[in-house]
Structure 1
Amino acid sequence: MDLKEFLDQKVAHFNQPDFITLDPISIPHRFSIKQDIEIAGFFAATLAWGQRKTIISKCLQLLEMMDNAPYQFMLHHSESDLKPFLNFKHRTFNDLDTLYFIQFFSTFYREHQSLESAFVIGWNEEEDIMAVLLKNFHHYFFQFPFAPNRTKKHVATPDRNSACKRLNMFLRWMVRKDDKGVDFGIWETIKPYQLICPCDLHVDRVARKLGLITRKQTDWGTAMELTQRLREFDPADPVKYDFALFGLGVEEKF
């Protein structure tokens, strides 16, 4: 069996509804309204470091503070509704970061229908446009003069040579389209062939073991190298192999 055939089998195995239960993608799957999915998904991806069980628990706690209706909360909350968030913390993501995210979403959704419009500044159909989109998103997200400097570390950018794992994961959720019921595929402008593979610890380790990565460090260049290799297997949807690499690393301890 060649590598493509092996990985295709693993994609088929892991890209199933069973995958959702223990993964942070279970958080946006609690919702059906597009804006709720976007907000819950963005928070879930941002908080996705550490044990998956803890990540999910913290996200549920955060959404509970929004009455499990994040979109309505962003549009209609009062000053007093923000008090519970002063006690929210997940690792180094604290109340100041949370309140800035809420401020951004509250302002944004009063003027825009979908978070995709924040991610398509400078978009064109080129295959390797993602670095431009993520840099532009970072500038846009922190456009306000009161944006705390400390919060900027929680939204990665290729400008800092980050692999942007969490953003690439969030974009996979929003953009990839198939009939498997895991990724949402609710965005139209960004295309699946433009996505970059999220390079987390497990994916990185398995990809190196399989000879898909040669760079020593894990940074934006590494994420690009991995994605370009995966495009050889499926140019239209390279990031579907995230399921295979992540599943091999976490579930099968490959």
Structure 2
Amino acid sequence: MSENELKDFLDSKVLQYNTIDFVEPDPISVPHRYSLKEDVEIAGFLASTIAWGNRKMITKNGHRMMDLLGNSPYDFVMSHDEYQLERLEGFVHRTFNSEDFKYFIKALNHIYTNHGGLENIFNIYQTEDSLQLAIHEFNKIFFEIPHRERTKKHVADPSKGSVAKRINMCLRWFVRNDNTGVDLGIWKNISPSKLSCPLDVHSGNVARKLGLLDRKQNDGKALAELDTSLRFLDPIDPVKYDFALFGLGIFEGF
């Protein structure tokens, strides 16, 4: 199909899938539980961190994380003690376990106490056209305090060739305001034009079939190529097409 036909096709799929019905079965429903900005941020970051595997199980375990934090994630992060951390014992989602969970709480406390919070880090390190450097700097800050080596695998670093799928998805949630009640749009100082598509097996395969991506492996170079293609289609809101690629891959077996 022509470029105009491809854009019209994908725009129609965005309209089909970027609707309020998307929220409940998706991990984005976890931050949707909250109205306090910091609660939304922490809930979204934690839910996106475990976003690999079965979508239903991801969503279930994301809500379980919030229950373990007493449904007040920011308050728990800022005021917890070692005794309260013990309530996280037994949590596991694939390779993310309770020790990782405990460290994430401590690291988030460090970020809100010493670095002005999650949004401030991404504001400071955003570049003219991307948030990939900011993700790299966030990774460094997140592991400034003593940590186990095993936990580092749960926070991606684009400088090492990672597509950082889960963090890019989280950033989509926080930055993009879609006016349909799905993405949260709580960060106002970062342009949606700088967002990168949360590239995974499904979105990558659909993108290749549509001619949006040539590179065979899903790595940082593939992400940059896909970003270029999507920004050509819509330079203002390129990651809206994540809904189209996701829907075509998961719901339509495209």
- TM-score, normalization by structure 2: 0.95
Task: Tell me by how many angstroms 1:74 deviates.
Answer: 1.1
The match for 1:133 is 134
Partner SS state of residue 55, structure 1? helix
Task: Tell me by how many angstroms 1:113 deviates.
Answer: 5.5
Partner SS state of residue 110, structure 1? helix
Partner SS state of residue 227, structure 1? helix
Task: Tell me by how many angstroms 1:87 deviates.
Answer: 1.2
Task: Tell me by how many angstroms 1:57 deviates.
Answer: 1.3
The match for 2:219 is 219
Specify every segment of 5 or more residues in structure 1 that has no aligned partner in the other structure, as ranges. none
What code does the residue aligned with 1:192 have?
P
1:79-228 map, 5 Å: 79-111=82-114, 114-124=117-127, 126-127=128-129, 129-144=130-145, 146-228=146-228
What code does the residue aligned with 1:169 have?
M
Task: Tell me by how many angstroms 1:111 deviates.
Answer: 4.5
Question: 1:161 touches 1:220 (CA, 8 Å); kept in 2?
Answer: yes
Residue 46, structure 1, aligned to residue 40, structure 2 = no
The match for 1:75 is 78
Residue 55, structure 1, aligned to residue 96, structure 2 = no
- Alignment RMSD (CA, Å): 1.4
Q: How many equivalent pairs are there?
A: 251
What code does the residue aligned with 1:58 have?
N
Task: Tell me by how many angstroms 1:215 deviates.
Answer: 0.4
Residue 242, structure 1, aligned to residue 245, structure 2 = no
Structure 2 Cα separation of the partners of residues 70 and 4 of structure 1: 40
Structure 1 Cα separation of the partners of residues 162 and 126 of structure 2: 20
Task: Tell me by how many angstroms 1:120 deviates.
Answer: 2.9
Moved more, 164-173 or 178-187: 178-187
Which of 3, 6, 11 is the equivalent residue of 1:8?
Answer: 11
- Give per-residue Cα distances to partners, 1:88-112, cap 9 Å, x unaligned: 1111111221111000112322356
What code does the residue aligned with 1:233 have?
L
- Give per-residue Cα distances to partners, 1:135-161, cap 9 Å, x unaligned: 1111111111x1221111100011220
Task: Tell me by how many angstroms 1:53 deviates.
Answer: 0.8
Structure 2 Cα separation of the partners of residues 169 and 215 of structure 1: 21
Task: Tell me by how many angstroms 1:60 deviates.
Answer: 1.6
Task: Tell me by how many angstroms 1:117 deviates.
Answer: 1.0
Question: 1:15 touches 1:180 (CA, 8 Å); kept in 2?
Answer: yes
Question: 2:19 touches 2:180 (CA, 8 Å); kept in 1?
Answer: yes
The match for 1:37 is 40
Moved more, 4-13 or 115-124: 115-124
Structure 2 Cα separation of the partners of residues 109 and 137 of structure 1: 13
Structure 2 Cα separation of the partners of residues 16 and 60 of structure 1: 21
Residue 22, structure 1, aligned to residue 22, structure 2 = no
- TM-score, normalization by structure 1: 0.95
